[in-house]
Structure 1
Amino acid sequence: MRAGGGPVRRGSGAVGRLAAAAALAGILAVTPGLSASADDAPGAVDSAGQDQAGIPATTAPAPTPTLGGAGYGTNGGFGGAATFAPVPIDPSLVPDPPVNKDLPEQVDEKGPFEQQVSCDPEDRPGVTAFALLVSEHYDRPTFFGSRPCIDYASFHHDGRALDWPLNVWDHSDVQIADAVILWLTGNDGEMANRFGIEYLIWNGLIWSQERGWQYYTGNPHTDHIHFSFTWDGAEMRTSWWTGVAVTQPDLGPCDVIPWQYAPLHTVPRVDPCPVEDAPAAPSTGIGRVRPGESGAGVSMLQKLLDLPETGVLDGTTRAALLDWQSEHHVPMTGVADDFTYAVALGWDLAPLPDAALGVARKAWQTSEFTPYLRTTLTEGEQGKAVKVLQTAIGAEPDGSFGPRTAKALARWEKSVPVLAEQAQRRGDGPAVVTPLTWLLLERAVHPTMAVRDVQLERGSLDLSADPEGVLAAETDAEGRAGSPYAGGAVRLLQQLLGVDADGSFGPQTEKAVEKLQKSADLEPTGVVDGPTWVALEKVAQQEGRLEEAPGAAAAREARVKAEKVKAEKKAAKEKKAKEAAAEKARERAAAVAGID
């Protein structure tokens, strides 16, 4: 990272990491879903503050379990302290772990345990990226992620879990598994936190940051390693992918209505869930239907949504249902639940608390890519999403995903190794834009998107600027105490501002922020918030401190070409007009000469 000088290129420092996001992973692919045995989900906490293995909880007690609603019951848990004894590792069989040379000094904060309370069986980008990183690096390419929701709690049910097949009885597999686990859990779990790994299960043992190694009471996991991820890890917001450590962990969705799933989680939440009594759901007696399931009530909803009445809550129905739930201000669960049925039947319901509707997305958390981040787009399709893709990658925005768009997409994918591998694994099939493609494209076009939730002000510090903790304990001339370490975000801010990037938010940085805010018609508070990051991104790209978006050059060329064509047409028109005027003048002269 550097201040001033030429633009910071993708893959060079934190700015580059923000632009390319998962480029350091080197690979990514989409792997079919899972049909393996049930596992995972330890740590469900009952009202007495005990997990299901009877071990005292290390976090605050969760709400009273709503069994049969969000499925708090689990299939295993912590069974008492244990010791991990890895097998000897043969370096000729097992390579050294992946290396990321651009990590910040500060390690990500993990936050409290957040059980699965929403039904959202869609693979999250951070899970898939980690899966492909390790599966390619260790030449074990198969992995499995999300599963349909059933009546027990599992991170697989909200897209935050990964199963990586390795067999404890295979001498190569067991060495790979133990080597990966040593890498992740060593140094107080540093790498696990940098990926946002909540816990892992392998060979009858479970590891978490809070408890260390314990015996696992469920499926022994001798044929695969199970990984569960925090919300930040699942959404690729951790330092391995962004270069900025998480300092305010995402706490996930709020489960506030008994017997109902929580709304889908798409925006980080850092405030506690409300503790007041939750409203009861209406009792329609129709019965709940989850994604992939069938039920009579689904046909009613499909008729309402003007869809074929199959009675199955398939992907198309679920997407339409989510939009309908949002429009009618009921929890966006993607589930045919009591609130959905009640509103569909025309019942009058009392307003719900904000927590029941999920975290509202602010303007600065939104981009042209937001509507498509959870969708898959395939060559041959048409529409607005295609235009957004084409504009971003510099293809002609005609709304048709044809060969030219596929070629432009492939050209950009090759510049991002993680996407190049995704394309390679796809083979000769049609071009596909996956949720991870959308995420990385959004971060390439809007490089600050991954850090816009980070708020900075005078006194904010990076660990690199204060390794001994001296400045953090001091107060400034106004008596303001130093802020908690910012995970590397101060240095990134300073780079984009073009000031000395020392990692300490002092008067010079504050003055530069105020100047930026004034130029962007923002209140000059000197405090960096979401709108300020947006304005800073625009200026940094204009002034060459941040590499421009993938399609910017093509768009610029298109504008130049269009302006050239326009100028040529104007010149031709003017020439034609002059020629016509000259011809009329000649005709008038000839007419005068004939009279004389």
Structure 2
Amino acid sequence: MLGPGARARAALLLCGVLMAGGAPAFAADATAPDSGGDAPDTSPVPLPAVLPAPATRSGFSPDGGFGGAATFIPVAIDPSVVPDPPVNEGLPAEVDAKGPFAQQVSCDPVDRPGVTAFALLLSQHYGRPAYSGARPCIDYASFHHDGRALDWALDAWDPVDRQIADSTITWLTDNDGEMAHRFGLEYLIWNGLIWSADSRTWSFYTANPHTDHIHFSFTWDGAQMRTSWWTGVAVTQPDLGPCDVTPWQYAAVHQTVRLAPCEPVVAEAPATGLGRVRPGESGNGVSMLQQELGLPVNGVLDDVTRRALMEWQQENGLPATGVADDFTYAVAQGWELSPLPAGALSIAPADWQRTEFTPHRRDVLTEGDQGEAVKVLQEALGVETDGSFGPLTAAALAEFEETVPLLAAQAARRGDDPAVVTPLTWVPLERVAHPTIVVREVALHRGSLDRTADPDGALVAAALTETDLENPYAGGAVTLLQELLGVEADGSFGPITEAAVMEVQKGADLEPSGLVDGPTWAAVEAHALEALDPEVPDPAASAEDAEDADPEQTAAEERARATAARLTEASALIGSN
């Protein structure tokens, strides 16, 4: 297994974008018209088509919405007071695709990493540190209730705050909302107006005017940091979020990317009469469930109870909502229920989607904690894996945080409090260890293109003819694949790239199809990391030793050195700015 140093050298393969701080990597429900047709899109920064919005969810409605059409008129910006917006030099030519509007249907009040990252980026860049995210679930729909919303405190009546807010919003919404798509924003609300990423237009907002903060709501891709600002690879297949097939009940908590539309089925919940208890609330039914789960009985659906409940729900074929609901009470009391439709249940990740981090991405660890999640943390940090979050682990974590601007900002906000691992912390840890984790859902094959390889659309017609593709553009993933394979990174998936893919597939006992799917991405990643053998000889080895070396071995060593050099050069971008 590669050590942390080798993994660090691999981190920036994702087009130099893993650790953002404004620099490369970590550095009305109206819908926009579909672009349609097979004609090449030759615009310099094409925006994705938007899928139709789903029907309104029964029983959970928002407390505000879109009024009539409006115009956003920003105040004049004084550059001596307000800095230019953040810059990211590692963005691909493509802009992220966006799926249909995904209302909050699950109760999961935990800040998602993309929300925290966006908050840290803006608050640090503009010197306005106050923000809030997730809130306890109550009976109206809000992205705050599933961890996909941010309120950034700015005062519309303060001249400087107003300039900061208007400058930020202009940056995000200009060019048909290019930057909003790169962060995965669903909509934003400010000073009595609301902007939609679907319509890319402004409307009057019908509820709280939001004059003391900007509200940002995120898509699932944005919330999970799958968008191009954080990865350097534009989303081509949007995450559609959880399926809403249980009226008056919460949907299963969303933990794995869902690319297929939900089937139009309904699962009616049994009427137990016990009500519903959400995270942080108390109730008699919770005491019954805690007894069933073998937990201390306090009647409160606390974090420990909620995690155990979600595991129990999944084991019993129930929606893993983390809520004490009618389905849960019925099974706990021995009721026989009909099998539920697949859409009502949590999506199980495929083997190629799993890493050692998968079970722990939502865990919060504090110095003094013990357990399996701590061991995973320690392995990633390269310290003794004793499962105890002590001073040595805290020191290693602090060292890692200093290399990642977002984590350094998170640590600075923590101040002198004990070390903490948040859902945001897990993201760079996993991506350093597994550079392809954010693109494993991207399918590639001969004819796939990055727009950098086809800026004028000259190749697309031929690619459509050869491969019968609807859209050959791959969001920058072809270049990433080629960098991992060690072939010319020209962004065009041709016969040389296909042959290299087939060689990797053969070595991994996969069908040598030349098609890049999830298992192939994982195999390509393993192949690239294996080339970072720390025992590779020094390139300054003597000519005499070189003459005696086996030619095939020498060629393998040269390839390994070339791969290491590429990754080392890329890794210099970690922590920049």
TM-score of the superposed pair, with normalisation by structure 1: 0.82
Q: 1:243: how far off?
A: 0.1
Determine helix, strand or coil for the equivalent of 1:91. coil
- 1:14 paired residue number: 14
- 1:213 paired residue number: 202
- 1:181 paired residue number: 169
Deviation per residue, 1:498-522 (Å, 9 max, x gap): 1111111111111110010001111
Deviation per residue, 1:275-307 (Å, 9 max, x gap): 24x131111111111111221111111111122
Name the aligned partner's letter for residue 337 of structure 1. D
Distance 1:369 1:353, change over 3 A: same
Deviation per residue, 1:454-501 (Å, 9 max, x gap): 110111111111122232222478564474310000010011001111
Q: What is the alpha-carbon distance in structure 1 between the residues aligned to residue 531 and residue 7 of structure 2?
A: 8
Q: 1:123: how far off?
A: 0.4
- 2:54 aligned with 1:65, yes or no? no
- 1:96 paired residue number: 84
For this pair of structures, how many residues does the alignment match? 513
Q: What is the alpha-carbon distance in structure 1 between the residues aligned to residue 256 and residue 333 of structure 2?
A: 30
Name the aligned partner's letter for residue 393 of structure 1. L
Q: Is the 8 A contact 1:514 1:525 kept in 2?
A: yes
- 1:3 paired residue number: none
Q: What is the alpha-carbon distance in structure 1 between the residues aligned to residue 565 and residue 336 of structure 2?
A: 52
Distance 1:11 1:170, change over 3 A: farther
Gaps in structure 1 of 5+ consecutive residues = 1-5, 29-41, 46-57, 551-596
- 2:573 paired residue number: none
Q: Is the 8 A contact 1:27 1:129 kept in 2?
A: no
Determine helix, strand or coil for the equivalent of 1:385. helix
Name the aligned partner's letter for residue 430 of structure 1. P
The 5-angstrom pairing of residues 132-281 of structure 1 reads 132-211=120-199, 212-276=201-265, 278-281=266-269
- 2:295 paired residue number: 307
Name the aligned partner's letter for residue 16 of structure 2. G
The 5-angstrom pairing of residues 229-378 of structure 1 reads 229-276=218-265, 278-378=266-366
Higher relative contact order (CA 8 A, sep 6+): 2
- 1:581 paired residue number: none
Percent sequence identity is 65
Distance 1:547 1:288, change over 3 A: farther
Q: 1:524: how far off?
A: 0.6
Q: What is the alpha-carbon distance in structure 2 between the residues aligned to residue 124 and residue 186 of structure 1?
A: 25
Deviation per residue, 1:186-226 (Å, 9 max, x gap): 11111000000111000011111333011111110111100
After TM superposition, which residue ranges in structure 1, 4 or more long, deviate above 6 angstroms? 25-28, 546-550
Name the aligned partner's letter for residue 198 of structure 2. E
TM-score of the superposed pair, with normalisation by structure 2: 0.85
Q: What is the alpha-carbon distance in structure 2 between the residues aligned to residue 484 and residue 299 of structure 1?
A: 55
Q: 1:125 aligns with which of 104, 113, 116?
A: 113
Deviation per residue, 1:77-102 (Å, 9 max, x gap): 11111111111111111000000001
Determine helix, strand or coil for the equivalent of 1:186. helix
Name the aligned partner's letter for residue 345 of structure 2. L
Q: What is the alpha-carbon distance in structure 1 between the residues aligned to residue 423 and residue 19 of structure 2?
A: 14
Name the aligned partner's letter for residue 489 of structure 2. A
- 2:406 aligned with 1:406, yes or no? no
Q: Is the 8 A contact 1:143 1:165 kept in 2?
A: yes
Name the aligned partner's letter for residue 218 of structure 2. F
- 1:429 paired residue number: 417
Distance 1:482 1:75, change over 3 A: closer
- 1:492 paired residue number: 480
Distance 1:481 1:44, change over 3 A: closer
Determine helix, strand or coil for the equivalent of 1:189. helix
Q: 1:529 aligns with which of 517, 522, 532?
A: 517
Alignment root-mean-square deviation, CA: 2.4
Distance 1:549 1:331, change over 3 A: farther
Q: 1:59: how far off?
A: 5.9
